[in-house]
């Protein structure tokens, strides 16, 4: 592994506050990194009319085309769901898209029962895919990259199985097998839950706990990116909490040591960093990947700054 001075450093984390509601706990953090100017989220790019996403001329399930028409960088999260065109897709890997550029975006289908146009282009969603889908994609791609596979291909059959698992666990019937239908069914409930958590304007990172266990971590280059993803991440955690309530449940019987868990999780990466792979990202930047026991680590860096760091657990 190349020497990495940026990624997953516990000493760069300042814990700003902890909030809980039911079985969901969030810890907001400030991660010290160089702020890269002119980065906007995919959602903001759609809002400003700065991005066009559509099917390739010869449509493919696992590839779509994205054009950044602006002078800004566009950040896309690995769990972003794009709706429309011939079927809904989830983005396979986090990407930083250069200004005025076109990329082929690797995606997975999260709507198995539709292959027909319902719109010319894709549109954004208010959803980040369930963590089981993100974990499987992240783990699979990291294993492939370790073997010098230049692609960012996920296991499509596994993604479909996870979509079906979520629907079955939540007793949701979807005519097209759409993952988004599971979110839509609980839209009001998830929206209300997200409003119960307040975002710290100084935070650029978020650790999410479901029950007594760490579920995921998302660290962004700046607070504006976290703002755009804040409620979406919480709604994804809400889906996870509902599924866990129907299975074995880790009841939180005592105070959760969020600070200790965060520090230990970051130190786990440091201990195993020799096994991490470093390679070029899909757009601009360099990525670091590591699978370790029940966690998958991913970091995207550009111009000596962190663009996105995520840790997703398998539990």
Per-residue pLDDT for 275 more than 80?
Answer: yes
Overall average pLDDT of the 53-63 stretch: 96
Per-residue pLDDT for 291 more than 90?
Answer: yes
The better pLDDT of the pair 140, 247 is held by 140
Q: What is the pLDDT of residue 249?
A: 53
* 3-class DSSP assignment, residue 234: helix
Query: Which whole-number Å values give the CA distances from 311 to 65, 182, 218, 295, in the listed order?
Result: 27, 24, 7, 7
Question: CA Rg, the chain, in Å?
Answer: 18
Q: What is the pLDDT of residue 4?
A: 58
Overall average pLDDT of the 51-55 stretch: 98
Identify any residues that bridge with 63 across adjacent strands, giving them in sequence order: 60, 106
pLDDT tier for residue 38 given thresholds of 50, 70 and 90: very high
255 closest CA partner among 220, 212, 294: 212
Q: What is the pLDDT of residue 311?
A: 98
Q: What is the pLDDT of residue 1?
A: 41
Per-residue pLDDT for 40 more than 80?
Answer: yes
What digits encode the pLDDT tens for the residues 2-36? 445 689 999 999 999 999 999 999 999 999 999 99
Query: Which whole-number Å values give the CA distances from 172 to 179, 192, 207, 241, 248, in the listed order?
Result: 10, 20, 28, 16, 20
* 3-class DSSP assignment, residue 35: coil
Separation CA 127–CA 181 (nearest Å) = 11
Handedness of CA 147, 107, 209, 43 (dihedral sign): positive
Per-residue pLDDT for 252 more than 60?
Answer: no
Per-residue pLDDT for 255 more than 90?
Answer: no
Overall average pLDDT of the 172-179 stretch: 97
Q: What is the pLDDT of residue 2?
A: 46
Per-residue pLDDT for 260 more than 50?
Answer: yes
Separation CA 311–CA 218 (nearest Å) = 7
Predicted model pTM: 0.95
**Helices and strands: H and E segment counts in the chain:** 7, 17
Separation CA 219–CA 10 (nearest Å) = 12
Q: What is the pLDDT of residue 244?
A: 87
pLDDT tier for residue 226 given thresholds of 50, 70 and 90: very high
Joined together, the tokens standing for residue 168 give: 């079955």
Overall average pLDDT of the 31-56 stretch: 97
Query: Which whole-number Å values give the CA distances from 114 to 36, 199, 288, in the listed order?
Result: 39, 37, 35
Give the mean pLDDT of the chain: 94
Overall average pLDDT of the 219-247 stretch: 93
Overall average pLDDT of the 269-283 stretch: 94
Q: Strand 205-210 and strand 39-41: pairing?
A: unpaired
Overall average pLDDT of the 145-155 stretch: 87
Per-residue pLDDT for 95 more than 70?
Answer: yes
Q: What is the pLDDT of residue 247?
A: 54
């Amino acid at each position: 592994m190349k020497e990495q001075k940026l990624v997953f450093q516990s000493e760069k984390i300042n814990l700003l506050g902890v909030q809980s509601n039911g079985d969901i706990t969030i810890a907001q953090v400030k991660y010290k990194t160089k702020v890269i100017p002119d980065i906007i989220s995919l959602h903001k790019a759609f809002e400003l009319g700065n991005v066009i996403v559509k099917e390739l001329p010869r449509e493919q399930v696992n590839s779509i085309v994205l054009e950044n028409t602006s002078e800004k960088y566009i950040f896309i999260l690995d769990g972003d769901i794009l709706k429309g065109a011939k079927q809904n897709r989830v983005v396979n890997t986090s990407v930083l898209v250069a200004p005025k550029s076109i990329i082929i975006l690797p995606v997975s289908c999260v709507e198995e029962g539709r292959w027909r146009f319902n719109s010319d282009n894709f549109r954004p969603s208010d959803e980040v895919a369930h963590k089981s889908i993100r974990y499987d994609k992240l783990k699979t791609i990291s294993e492939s990259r370790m073997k010098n596979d230049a692609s960012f291909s996920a296991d499509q059959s596994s993604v479909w199985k996870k979509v079906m698992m979520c629907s079955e666990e939540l007793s949701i019937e979807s005519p097209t097998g759409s993952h988004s239908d599971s979110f839509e069914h609980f839209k009001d409930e998830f929206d209300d839950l997200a409003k119960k958590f307040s975002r710290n304007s100084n935070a650029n990172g978020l650790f999410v706990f479901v029950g007594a266990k760490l579920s995921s971590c998302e660290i962004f280059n700046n607070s504006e990116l976290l703002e755009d993803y804040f409620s979406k991440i919480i709604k994804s955690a809400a889906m996870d909490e509902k599924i866990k309530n129907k299975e074995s449940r880790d009841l939180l019987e005592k105070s959760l040591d969020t600070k200790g868990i965060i520090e230990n999780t970051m130190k786990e990466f440091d201990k195993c960093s020799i096994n991490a792979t470093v390679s070029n990202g899909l757009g601009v930047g360099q990525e670091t990947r590591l699978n370790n026991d029940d966690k998958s680590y991913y970091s995207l860096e550009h111009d000596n700054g962190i663009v996105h760091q995520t840790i997703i657990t398998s539990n």
